[in-house]
């Protein structure tokens, strides 16, 4: 398998020495250095035939990783090393060996015994928390915030990756498509520097990435947010229309005053929900023919189902109207999402670029 190794230049790391170690371990591999500021090591690597990606000031190195993945046209596998391994040559060989049987291999602080106890002691509580809150995103991986990992290039489309991501490994673990995953232990460079926690900027960046990944992996969350927006649009429009219809002779189903504005505000909410789901929840998906009419039909039919469920829960199950409404809304919400996902929109096939 042909490989591209992406190295992240870091403070205190001898880039030229690291490049030599990579060349000795993998003489046929392409090597890419990603650096925020191009130091002497980066220049030496560039003169030796290694490619250097210069990341603009203020940007995260993740943007350079994405560019490195995108430009590795002749490679079957990609390995990313953040420079923190005490034996990068051995780490690279272990990861590439693991990729013979796995689609994704992660260098882990919690796999095996090699360096794990010392690494655990130096891992801050915030880092552990960052790893814990990402469990639903990549439940098969123990060290989800690792900066050392390798994967088959077919695992992920670079266009799907966020170049501003706080942690590119987590980005690939979440957005990638892989069957077999493995973790290999690694020990870190004992640089003697004080262990400091992440800055507020990094915490905000990681929180932003988590929200984006959760919304991407669990699409129903987007559908839920759109439903919440539609609710407020419905209630806001209803409140305004009540004042327009109040005192008029407008009737609907024999009722004066309050039902006509409710019908209009509900239709407005349905239209807004359709458009928001189209551009956000199901962005990039194909829409079936007469998509809006399908959505309108679904909304009206499930509204009747909502009312029937409410009646059954109150009259048969003897729940209070408020509790019954909450249960009915939750049940019908899931039904609406499944119908929208299968009957109104469908996922487009994608190919790596």
**Cα four-point dihedral sign 105, 106, 108, 110:** negative
Is residue 242 situated within a structural domain?
Answer: yes
CB-based contact 99:151 (threshold 8 Å): yes
274-327 residue pLDDT tens:
999 999 899 878 898 889 999 999 988 988 888 888 888 888 988 887 788 888
Long-range contacts formed by 44-51: CB under 8 A, 24+ apart: 44/15, 44/16, 44/19, 45/15, 45/16, 45/19, 48/19, 50/19
Residue 116, pLDDT above cutoff 50: no
Q: How big is the CA angle at 274 (ends 271 and 278), to the nearest 5 degrees?
A: 145
CA nearest to 343, candidates 306, 269, 290, 303: 290
CA separation for the pair 343, 341 (Å, rounded): 6
261-286 residue pLDDT tens:
777 888 888 899 999 999 989 987 88
Does 164 share its domain with 300? no
List the CATH number of the domain containing 35.
3.90.550.10
Does 111 share its domain with 205? yes
Residue 104, pLDDT above cutoff 70: yes
Is residue 351 situated within a structural domain?
Answer: no
Q: Which residue has the higher pLDDT, 37 or 143?
A: 143
End position of a domain, from candidates 216, 242, 266:
216
The boundaries of the domain holding residue 31 are: 3-216
pLDDT of residue 256: 53
Does 133 share its domain with 121? yes
For range 119-127, the mean pLDDT? 59
Is residue 41 situated within a structural domain?
Answer: yes
Beta-sheet strand order (sheet of 77-81): 51-54, 30-35, 3-8, 77-81, 149-152, 104-108, 181-185
Is residue 86 situated within a structural domain?
Answer: yes
Does 208 share its domain with 277? no
CB-based contact 8:61 (threshold 8 Å): yes
End position of a domain, from candidates 197, 216, 235:
216
**Cα four-point dihedral sign 132, 137, 140, 144:** negative
Q: How big is the CA angle at 52 (ends 25 and 163), to the nearest 5 degrees?
A: 105
348's CB contacts (< 8 A; 6+ apart) are 284, 285, 286
Does 172 share its domain with 252? no
Does 138 share its domain with 225? no
Is residue 353 situated within a structural domain?
Answer: no
Mean pLDDT of all residues belonging to the chain:
81
For range 78-91, the mean pLDDT? 75
Does 169 share its domain with 312? no
Does 131 share its domain with 210? yes
Residue 170, pLDDT above cutoff 90: yes
Is residue 352 situated within a structural domain?
Answer: no
> Could you give the C-alpha distances from 159 to 17, 163, 169, 174, 274, in angstroms and in order?
32, 9, 15, 14, 26
Does 323 share its domain with 182? no
Residue 17, pLDDT above cutoff 50: yes
CB-based contact 189:85 (threshold 8 Å): yes
Residue 331, pLDDT above cutoff 50: yes
Does 98 share its domain with 176? yes
CA separation for the pair 179, 158 (Å, rounded): 18
Does 152 share its domain with 239? no
3-state secondary structure the chain: CCEEEEEECCCCCCHHHHHHHHHHHCCCCEEEEEECCCCHHHHHHHHCCCEEEECCCCCCCHHHHHHHHHHCCCCCEEEEECCCECCHHHHHHHHHHHCCCCCEEEEECCCCCCCHHHHHHHCCHHHHHHHHCCCCCCCCCCCCCCCCEEEEHHHCCHHHCCCCCCCHHHHHHHHCCCCCEEEEECCECCCCCCCCCCCHHHHHHHHHHHHHHHHHHCHHHHHHHHHHHHHHHHHHHHHHHHHHHCCCCCEECCEECCHHHHHHHHHHHHHHHHHHHHHHHCCCCEECCCHHHHHHHHHHHHHHHHHHHHHHHHHCCCCCHHHHHHHHHHHHHHHHHHHHHHHHEECCCCCCC
Does 211 share its domain with 226? no
How many domains does the chain fold into?
Answer: 2
End position of a domain, from candidates 196, 216, 236:
216
Is residue 78 situated within a structural domain?
Answer: yes
Least confidently predicted of 14-18, 37-41, 206-210: 37-41
CA separation for the pair 323, 292 (Å, rounded): 32
Neighbours of 157 (CB within 10 A): 17
């Amino acid at each position: 398998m042909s490989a591209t190794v992406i190295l992240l230049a870091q403070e205190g790391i001898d880039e030229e020495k690291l490049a030599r170690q990579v060349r000795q371990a993998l003489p046929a591999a392409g090597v890419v250095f990603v650096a925020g500021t191009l130091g002497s090591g980066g220049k030496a690597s560039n003169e030796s035939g290694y490619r250097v990606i210069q990341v603009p000031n203020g940007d995260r190195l993740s943007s350079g990783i994405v560019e490195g993945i995108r430009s590795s046209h002749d490679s079957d596998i990609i390995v990313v090393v953040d420079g923190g391994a005490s034996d990068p040559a051995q780490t690279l060989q272990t990861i590439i060996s693991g990729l013979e049987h796995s689609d994704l291999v992660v260098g882990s602080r919690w796999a095996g015994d090699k360096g794990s106890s010392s690494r655990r002691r130096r891992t801050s509580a915030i880092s552990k928390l960052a790893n814990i809150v990402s469990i639903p995103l990549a439940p098969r991986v123990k060290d989800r915030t690792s900066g050392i990992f390798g994967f088959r290039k077919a695992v992920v489309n670079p266009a799907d990756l966020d170049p501003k991501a706080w942690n590119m490994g987590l980005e690939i673990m979440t957005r990638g498509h892989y069957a077999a995953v493995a973790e290999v232990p690694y020990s870190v460079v004992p640089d003697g520097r004080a262990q400091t926690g992440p800055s507020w900027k990094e915490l905000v960046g990681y929180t932003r990435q988590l929200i984006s990944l959760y919304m991407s992996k669990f699409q129903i969350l987007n559908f839920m947010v759109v439903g919440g927006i539609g609710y407020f649009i419905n209630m806001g429009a209803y409140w305004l229309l009540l004042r327009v219809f109040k005192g008029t002779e407008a009737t609907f189903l024999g009722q004066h005053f309050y039902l006509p504005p409710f019908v209009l505000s509900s239709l407005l909410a349905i239209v807004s929900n359709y458009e928001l789901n189209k551009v956000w929840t199901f962005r990039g998906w194909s829409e079936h023919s007469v998509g809006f009419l399908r959505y309108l039909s679904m909304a009206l039919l499930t509204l009747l189902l909502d009312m029937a469920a409410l009646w059954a829960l109150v009259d048969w199950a003897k729940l209070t109207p408020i509790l019954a409404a909450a249960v009915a809304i939750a049940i019908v919400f899931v039904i609406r999402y499944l119908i929208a996902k299968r009957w109104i929109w469908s996922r487009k096939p994608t190919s790596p670029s």
